[in-house]
Structure 1
Amino acid sequence: MALPPPRRTRERGFALLAALGITLALTVTVAMTVRAVSREANVQGDLRRQKEAFFAAEAGLAEGREAMRLLLADSETYNPVLAQLGSPVTEPGLGSSTQPWYEVLPSGSSDGWNAYPLTPESMTPAELSSARGEAYADYPRQANVRYRVFVHDDGDDADFTTDSNRQVWLVAVGEVVGGSGRPTRSVVQALITNDNELQLTGPGCVNRGCGPNNTFNNTLDRQAPPTQTVRFF
């Protein structure tokens, strides 16, 4: 018959098991904490990239509106502008042969994107410091931020290749390329209207409320003349 181990040996074995259990519990807790912090950091990074992509799209939309205004000149429709923009884009998802999309701001690069970097070298000291005048130790250059701008007909009729109502859709896409290669994109669009419509105006009478035909027979009438007969002696 074997004798049981001494009491001291049994206590040491129990202490070793307890230490291993505590170590395992701490390891699991630390791993879960690191995972939660990493997940939160990823969420915050996605939110920041979404904002950057949105601001890039907004900037592209503003630049695209100005480019369309300059190309429009005195034209009464957007057809001459669409002709100046050249051939429609042929990339998947960007229009079709019957509903063409056009690149408003060609970049000349192979991927078609316009870079949206910041250049601290050309910025003023006020832009490189806080409101209290403290210079920033570092400045983000936004080297991974870019945008594209497209225009297409608003579909006022069955023909999407020509503009007949002086309105087109301007679409801007902002993108931020992350370290993993997965891009974050934001799309904004605006319906822009051509106001270069021929109008007839005349001096004097218009200031008193009459219409472009220099008569008060219009919806802008504010002081129509009396209709009673007036006799002169």
Structure 2
Amino acid sequence: MTHRDLARTRANGGFTLLVALGVVLVVTMAVMLSYRVVGREADTQADARRQKEAFFAAEAGLAEGREAIRMRTSITDETYIATLNTIRLAGAEVVELGLAGANPPWYELLPASAGDPWNYLRLTPGDMPAHEKQSAGGVAYEDYPVQNNVRYRVFVRDDVDSDPVSDSNGLIWVAAVGEVLNRDGRPTRSVVQALIANQTGAVAYGPGCSVAGCGPDNTHNNPLDSRAADVTQVNTLPNNTPP
């Protein structure tokens, strides 16, 4: 082989090596980009799931808080003065940073403990019945996920009426905060609230013509009806039964 042929062979080998390195670089970049896209999509789906869990936890806390207010308030009370006073005397005013000194003040409606005011929606093997820890054939599951990171807090405060610390119009706010803890960053939170009033009498709602003066069975058999139905002409459905 001549000196010229040897130099040409070395040049071709060097060009092939550069092409191979370029292909490896492009493939590596494509794999890394795909990995980032997949990871971002997984993070988005996980965040959406945590947002729903936090919202459902807040809704559960709000329902529990409204029931707690109902049980603490007499059916004859037209305001929440006695209820708020009982909560205030129990030392439930929130003094944490961001809520302390509010006017009207915030009160912890469902305090959990002195060290941790959060209420947890835990689901552990000890809370599960035996049939949920085994298959339909009776084979026990070796492992399954548990829920320890969902929690909520419920607050109550008077609405902005004439007196910031004593209810005068029979309306108060109940607010619930749902939170899902995340090991990789800040927790995901959701806040819901409702303006509630104490109903002193029974209220019944029903479909049909009851709102127009009809009776509870959707007929005009109602002693409070001011005008009975006109039955001078009654139309019936035709009988389509074959002979």
Q: What is the TM-score normalised by the length of structure 2?
A: 0.72
CA 1:137–1:45 in 2, change beyond 3 Å: closer, same or farther? farther
Partner-residue secondary structure (3-state), 1:159: coil
Higher mean displacement: 70-79 or 177-186:
70-79
Higher mean displacement: 179-188 or 92-101:
92-101
**Residues 1:187 and 2:191 are matched in the alignment:** yes
CA contact (8 A) 1:177 1:184 kept: yes
**Residues 1:160 and 2:164 are matched in the alignment:** yes
Give structure 1 stretches of 5+ with no counterpart. 198-208, 210-220, 225-233
1:96-143 Cα shifts (integer Å, max 9, x gaps) = 343111110001142421111113333335655799999876443221
CA 1:23–1:109 in 2, change beyond 3 Å: closer, same or farther? farther
Alignment of 1:69-84 (within 5 A): 69-74=70-75, 75-84=77-86
Aligned residue for 1:217? none
Alignment of 1:8-19 (within 5 A): 8-19=9-20
**Residues 1:113 and 2:113 are matched in the alignment:** no
Aligned residue for 1:201? none
CA contact (8 A) 1:172 1:188 kept: yes
Alignment of 1:125-136 (within 5 A): 125=130, 127=132
Aligned residue for 1:56? 57
Aligned residue for 1:213? none
CA RMSD of superposed structures (Å): 2.9
Aligned-pair identity in percent equals 53
Partner-residue secondary structure (3-state), 1:7: helix
Distance 1:187 1:54 in 2: 7
Distance 1:133 1:53 in 2: 34
CA contact (8 A) 2:79 2:168 kept: yes
Distance 1:68 1:161 in 2: 17
Aligned residue for 2:41? 40
Give structure 2 stretches of 5+ with no counterpart. 202-212, 214-223, 228-243
CA contact (8 A) 2:151 2:178 kept: yes
Partner-residue secondary structure (3-state), 1:179: coil
Aligned residue for 2:218? none
Partner-residue secondary structure (3-state), 2:41: helix
